[in-house]
Structure 1
């Protein structure tokens, strides 16, 4: 098992990022909550990781905090929730917000996340209400530095939202009213926040 990676951030295109760890490029999928805390390209990053091994692929998932990784591991144990859906859930809400939804039986907020239907939301609440681990303190392992504004941050944001399960038309509507001067990460954050309200 790979517990963490420390290396130079060489590429980020949500939900995928690439870390150069002593000359080896690791492709890591990460929730948007992790992308919000990533530094500029070229900076050193520490990610807490979880490796998923399947017959046809080995997928590495990375998280800025141990609490997000713990939540991811808890989610993938639920029947019907795989790594991709767990990543989508953590992209739409922080671990703390998800924890609150479960303990408040707020299935409505969960259904607003892409890929989470009414039955899945109810299953999450029922199965996790009593067994959800304590979140403790969130440990952010990366420096929160604003990313530079790319040539077309809205288009990158739409692409990232599609990767998280939103339909292209819905993703475009989600970002259309957000100011053009925002970074891709900020646009995604604002779009996801408005989607779950």
Structure 2
């Protein structure tokens, strides 16, 4: 398994890049979030990778952060979700946004990504529930559940997803649901 590539970036042709590593050029598919963070051609680059071996091809996928790679691996484990759909999701949503959508069970957010229909979004939400969170920079354990409940309460009260997500992201992890809702509403009232 190729887990990491370090070399010179030769070419960027979205969604693929070419990296020279010891005289061998590796074609690596990357999500747009990784692509935008890469240096100019000719510069050194290091990426975490995931190799998929099929009968007809070896495909190498690159990621800027461990969280992106873990999200990709979680996505491709889901039946009916291949590498292309996983890359599309990670290109359309940050890892944090994906984790929030799963926590909030927000299928509409996922269907905004090209190639993701309603049924695929529902399958993703079902399969990823409880699997994304602490590993992807979300508060761990009960704090994640409390923050998800606060987010749902704010959405039910009519606040926009953007407003609610921003406020919930600033809450201390140890705050319970009731105190979280109170503090979030105070913050929103001041805005």
The two structures have a TM-score, normalised by structure 2, of 0.70
Note if 1:11 corresponds to 2:15: no
Q: What SS is found at the alignment partner of 2:134?
A: coil
Cα contact 2:95–2:136 (8 A) shared by 1: no
Identify the range of structure 1 (121-130 vs 8-17) with the bigger mean alpha-carbon deviation: 121-130
Q: Which residue of 2 aligns with 1:37?
A: 37
Distance 2:117 2:95 in 1: 19
Distance 2:41 2:135 in 1: 29
Q: How many residue pairs were aligned?
A: 138
Q: Compare relative contact order (CA 8 Å, sep 6+) and give the higher one, 1 or 2.
A: 1
Pairing of 1:1-197 with structure 2 (within 5 A): 1-132=1-132, 134-136=134-136
Cα displacement (A) at 1:4: 0.3
Q: What SS is found at the alignment partner of 2:48?
A: strand
Cα contact 2:10–2:20 (8 A) shared by 1: yes
Q: Which residue of 1 aligns with 2:173?
A: none
Distance 2:92 2:22 in 1: 32
- Bigger CA radius of gyration: 2
Cα displacement (A) at 1:115: 1.3
Distance 2:123 2:136 in 1: 24
Cα displacement (A) at 1:134: 2.2
Distance 1:9 1:66 in 2: 20
Cα contact 2:71–2:136 (8 A) shared by 1: no
Cα displacement (A) at 1:99: 0.5
The two structures have a TM-score, normalised by structure 1, of 0.68
Q: Deviations over 1:105-163 (max 9, x none)?
A: 110010111111111101111111122252355xxxxxxxxxxxxxxxxxxxxxxxxxx
Distance 1:70 1:32 in 2: 16
* Structure 2 unmatched ranges of 5 or more: 138-191
- Pairwise CA RMSD of aligned residues? 1.4
Cα contact 1:96–1:135 (8 A) shared by 2: no
Q: What SS is found at the alignment partner of 1:119?
A: helix
